[in-house]
């Protein structure tokens, strides 16, 4: 049968005449997500410039700009690639991440920093396989929830799945990298509690995990125990293990309501605050922009999390929803732990603040993660 353009029932709307696939792609791009990520990146660069504009660390700003350009390209690639394709390849991704973790730690192939083998160097570039493991675990969980009936999950089923995804957690903890391993556990538990129809299996697994806390404490390195003890009482050793926390609290408190002004933070400019471009960028921001600036930054992160959950609720399938929940959980725990660490409400475990902290591995991970959310958002329109 041939359809005539004169038949109104089969007439192509004028708004779609001549519309190419690329134009439809642009029309369905998640603009709020892109703008929010771009805003946080701009804040991160502004904050990093203040923290490193002196001659000793000025190159960090230029390097971060380069990483952000690469990250933006990865965001576009992750958006264009169908997330369902990545979910189908999830197990291969997890196997690859585990292989890299084994290669770094057990074979001694990683670059050592502060007693930990976490990095792999490729010429002038380097990366942390533990960051790749976060994305791999999220995609594997999306695959598991997509393939299985969550309404019939027994505690044995949950235990088997948790054990599988805990393999990279154990390898990361052995580096040792306490912060990333804890974050990965929190991401796994968040996905389980938010995606399971029956929460009792997750409760059983959680109780079993809590029972292992004393064993975990005994296997921790001495400096990790010192960080936990310094968190409980920073004044007990103010010049050593408690130094970071005390200086961070001083910096945040000195900002008061409106802050000291851009590049006028004393704790920042005079290097009283250690690692203020990686672990403590929120202290720099709070000192220079005060309570109001800190509130605005947290509010922007809050909007990002709400928007990611909005994408999860409108996803076209369970796999897309789990990906968004996983990315949202990763973002939430990074922000919460980093800010709590800065305020002395959590031990110093080296957790980055998304898009704010200096470092290529974490930045690339979050760009790809947000690209996955944008891919889920794009496909809900049937693109």
Query: For 227-269, what is each residue's pLDDT tens digit?
Result: 676 666 666 555 555 667 778 888 888 888 888 888 887 777 7
Neighbours of 8 (CB within 10 A): 6
pLDDT at 11 over 50: no
pLDDT at 279: 82
Question: What would the pLDDT profile of 370-380 be if each residue is shown by its tens digit?
Answer: 999 999 999 88
Q: What angle do CA 338, 312, 202 make, to 5 degrees?
A: 70
Nearest CA to 74 out of 373, 368, 321, 334 is that of: 368
pLDDT value for 72: 95
Q: Which of 187, 193, 158 is nearest to 172 (CA)?
A: 187
Q: Measure the CA angle with vertex 124, ends 118 and 125; round to 5°.
A: 45
* Strand intervals (E) in the chain: 111-113, 116-122, 125-127
Predicted local distance difference test score (pLDDT) of residue 321: 94
Q: What is the pLDDT of residue 198?
A: 73
Contact (Cβ atoms closer than 8 angstroms) between residue 161 and residue 188? no
The overall average pLDDT reported for the chain is: 80
What is the Cα–Cα distance from 100 to 106, expressed in whole angstroms? 10
Least confident of 109-123, 159-173, 198-212, 350-364: 109-123
| Structure-model confidence comparison of residues 277 and 257, the more confident one | 257
Determine the pLDDT at residue 173. 83
On the question of pLDDT at 16 being above 60, the answer is: no
Q: What is the pLDDT of residues 145-192, one digit of tens each?
A: 887 755 555 656 666 777 778 889 888 888 778 888 889 999 998 998
pLDDT at 21: 63
- Ranking 7-11, 95-99, 314-318 by mean pLDDT, the lowest is 7-11
What is the structure's pLDDT at 193? Answer: 86
- Looking at residue 266, its pLDDT comes to 77
Is it the case that residue 124 has pLDDT exceeding 80? no
* pLDDT value, residue 119: 58
Q: What integer pLDDT is reported at residue 96 of this predicted model?
A: 92
pTM (two decimals):
0.84
User: What's the whole-number mean pLDDT along residues 314-341?
Assistant: 94
pLDDT category of residue 325 using cuts at 50, 70 and 90: very high
Q: What is the CA radius of gyration of the chain?
A: 23
Q: List the one residue out of 51, 64, 41, 62 whose CA is nearest residue 277.
A: 51
pLDDT at 359: 84
Instruction: For residue 188, give Cα distances in angstroms to 48, 81, 183, 326, 365.
Output: 31, 24, 9, 8, 17
């Amino acid at each position: 049968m041939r359809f005539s353009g004169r038949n109104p029932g089969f007439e192509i709307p004028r708004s779609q005449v001549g519309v190419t696939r690329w134009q439809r792609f642009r029309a369905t791009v998640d603009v709020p997500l892109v703008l929010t990520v771009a805003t946080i990146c701009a804040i991160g660069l502004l904050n990093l410039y203040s923290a490193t504009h002196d001659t000793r660390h000025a190159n960090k700003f230029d390097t971060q700009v380069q990483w952000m350009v690469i990250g933006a390209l990865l965001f576009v690639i992750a958006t264009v690639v169908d997330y369902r394709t990545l979910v189908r390849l999830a197990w291969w991704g997890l196997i690859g991440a585990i292989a890299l973790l084994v290669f770094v730690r057990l074979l001694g192939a990683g670059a050592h920093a502060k007693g930990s083998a976490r990095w792999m160097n490729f010429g002038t570039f380097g990366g942390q396989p533990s960051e790749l493991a976060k994305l791999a675990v999220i995609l594997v969980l999306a695959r598991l929830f997509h393939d299985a009936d969550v309404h019939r999950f027994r505690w044995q089923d949950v235990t088997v799945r948790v054990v599988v995804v805990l393999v990279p957690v154990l390898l990361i903890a052995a580096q040792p990298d306490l912060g990333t391993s804890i974050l990965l556990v929190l991401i796994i538990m968040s996905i389980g509690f938010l995606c399971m129809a029956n929460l009792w299996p997750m409760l059983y697994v959680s109780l079993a995990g809590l029972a292992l806390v004393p064993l975990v404490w005994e296997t921790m390195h001495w400096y990790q125990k010192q960080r936990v003890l310094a968190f409980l009482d920073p004044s007990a050793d103010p010049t050593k293990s408690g130094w970071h926390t005390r200086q961070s609290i001083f910096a945040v408190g000195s900002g008061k309501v409106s802050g000291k002004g851009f590049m006028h933070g004393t704790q920042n400019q005079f290097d009283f605050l250690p690692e203020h471009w990686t672990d403590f960028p929120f202290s720099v921001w709070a000192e220079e922009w005060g309570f109001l600036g800190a509130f605005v930054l947290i509010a922007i992160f809050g909007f990002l999390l709400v928007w990611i959950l909005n994408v999860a609720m409108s996803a076209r399938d369970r796999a897309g929803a789990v990906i968004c929940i996983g990315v949202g959980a990763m973002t939430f725990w990074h922000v919460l732990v980093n800010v709590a660490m800065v305020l002395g409400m959590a031990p110093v475990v080296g957790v980055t603040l998304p898009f704010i902290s200096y470092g290529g591995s974490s930045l690339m991970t979050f760009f790809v993660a947000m690209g996955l959310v944008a891919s889920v958002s794009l496909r809900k329109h049937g693109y």
